[in-house]
A and B are shown apart, each in its own frame.
Chain A
Amino acid sequence: MSEFDVKIGVEIHVQLKTKSKMFCSCKVDLKSEPNRNICPICTGQPGTLPTPNEKAVEYAVIVSRALNSKIPDFLYFSRKNYFYPDLPKGYQITQYGISTGYNGSVPVIKDKEVIYFPIERVNLEEETAKSIYVDGKVFLDYNRCGIPLLEIVTPPVFDFPDILISFLKSLRRTLIYLGVSDCNMEEGEFRVDTNISVNLKGATLDSRVEIKNLNSFSAIKESLEYEIRRQKEAILNNAVVTRETRLWDEVKKETRAMRKKEFVEDYRYFPEPDLPPFEVKKEWLTKELPLLPDYYFRELIKKGADSKEAEIIISSPFLADFTLKVLEKFSFQKVKGWILTEILQYVDDLESLRELPFSFTDFILFLENLEKGLIPRHIGQEIIRISMTEKVNISDLIKDKVEIKSASEVDKVVEEVIRENASVVEKIRAGKVSAISFLIGQTMSKLKGKANPKEVKEIIEKKLNIK
């Protein structure tokens, strides 16, 4: 048993997918040239006033509901004061005291079960500018400044990095299913700050270290593992673990001190005087939520998927929905190879899969033809390959590849094959019935696969008077 207590909590920042910024009407577009989408409000010019974006508030409420949070009757914003050029007003408009959502939870899939981890609060705030440091100067791009941002905070309830990663993946997936953010980690749309304290079992000392701006799951895992090691070693050597903010160095694979950690009073929070409270609209609370990943997971398990298969399928909300529709007509065992192997081998980024080159109806037709034996397996694989790589509709390919020959055409070819393979025919007549598969293969090859192998077999057997 470990002699240490490890406690990890996280703060996640999620950029919301709105057309305009949180407190001004500037376009949200991070692909624009620097400082293309700016105005007097998001550049903090004196005398300007903020107006909150209704969509962003609605999204924050929707996320809070999906995370099983309590939502107050009214909301207001606060000022978090800090002086830094990435927020030129000198403060960030955020939530303090009252959150959009609080005391929520995130369902996490573990083996075949769904377990819940607590969420302390869901706050709505504004994003900061992008800063580039060059030779003692900072170059600022305010296109990012003011984009609506959700801050989701957990208490320190995670003991191991692995379970935290599962939690983060579940949360991220839920946000993608809700359609409030693409959560692209490389683009910084889903960033994680972790806080970690390692203490000797039973000790009450809390030396919380924060690691900031982690934007990949591997960075989160590696930085935590490093930090747990570092803090344990420090404790064993009677050294003091300072309460501080550290940065993860991706190259050296280590954390390094950035600054002393602030206390909450350093930010001098107070209610934002420019934005009086406003009521949470009833429609935000009653609007039907999309089906969430844990629902799809449970349904897939019920239909016979194992947890690994179900997890792959629910990586994409589109695929989860598509698969469940298919499973209304076919068993999971019958379709799993086609979906998980044949289709997904051509998908590079499963999470961003939003469509397939064929409709659900076309895919059902394809599966029906397979089941009837009208499409041989290898032709089916070829159809999927062409459809996925050349973006061709599957039904056109079925018509093209599986134009089933008429019985008389098949009959003619069978005659030909029997004539050309007299020695094989002799062997079959002498009792080596298994050699019939050679004749079936020859016939199918001449017909370019456009026949039902079962029918071909029956015709050959009839002609050779066997059975």
Chain B
Amino acid sequence: MELEKEVKRISELARIKIEDYNYFVENFLKILNLFKKINELDLENEKPFFYLEHLKTELRKDEDIEFADRELLFLNSPEKKGNFFVAESPIELG
């Protein structure tokens, strides 16, 4: 029951519509059990990693460069008015 609530919450967060909750709960349990197994490992002296590849982010010098074709950027906007991108307001102002 607790797990079903959890699955419901995660599906809301992920914006996923689930019809068969039992199926998900069953599979979710399998995943959780797998994590339980991983948790049995002694990882105390292991450094955490966040990325599979050993890549490093390169930083950029603080120099400003103008993007030449600004008009192109407006093409993905639902609407343009003057110099503004215009969209439907996501909030109602009271």
Contact = CB atoms under 8 A, between A and B. Distances in A.
Nearest to A52: B59
Contacts of B51: 271, 273, 276-277
Interface centre among B79, B84, B93 (most CB of A within 10 A): B84
A460 B83 CA distance: 77
B62 A137 contact: no
Interface in B53-69: 53, 55-67
B74 to A, nearest CB: 8
Contacts, number: 122
A464 interface: no
B67 to A, nearest CB: 4
A18 B62 CA distance: 7
B91 interface: yes
Nearest to A138: B89
A55 interface: yes
Interface string B31-47: 00000000000000000
A56 interface: yes
Nearest to A40: B73
Given A20-B62, A277-B50, A34 B82 contact: yes
Given A20-B64, A25-B60, A268-B13, A137 B83 contact: no
Interface in A15-41: 18-20, 25-28, 33-40
Given A35-B84, A43-B73, A20 B63 contact: yes
B83 A25 contact: no
A19 B65 CA distance: 10
Interface string A37-73: 1111001010000011111110000000000000000
B85 interface: yes
Nearest to A139: B84
Query: Among the interface residues B50, B55, B61, B76, which one has the most CB atoms of the partner chain A within 10 A?
Result: B50
Given A136-B88, A141-B84, A268 B14 contact: yes
B85 A139 contact: yes
Contact of B89 (A33, A56, A137, A271): A137
A55 to B, nearest CB: 4
A267 B76 CA distance: 25
A463 B67 CA distance: 83
A139 B81 contact: yes
B57 A39 contact: no
A25 B63 contact: yes
B84 A34 contact: yes
A84 B87 CA distance: 10
Interface of A: 18-20, 25-28, 33-40, 43, 45, 51-57, 76, 84-85, 132-133, 136-142, 256, 265-266, 268, 271, 273, 275-279
13 contacts: A19-B62, A20-B62, A25-B60, A26-B65, A28-B64, A35-B73, A35-B83, A85-B87, A138-B86, A138-B87, A139-B81, A139-B84, A277-B57
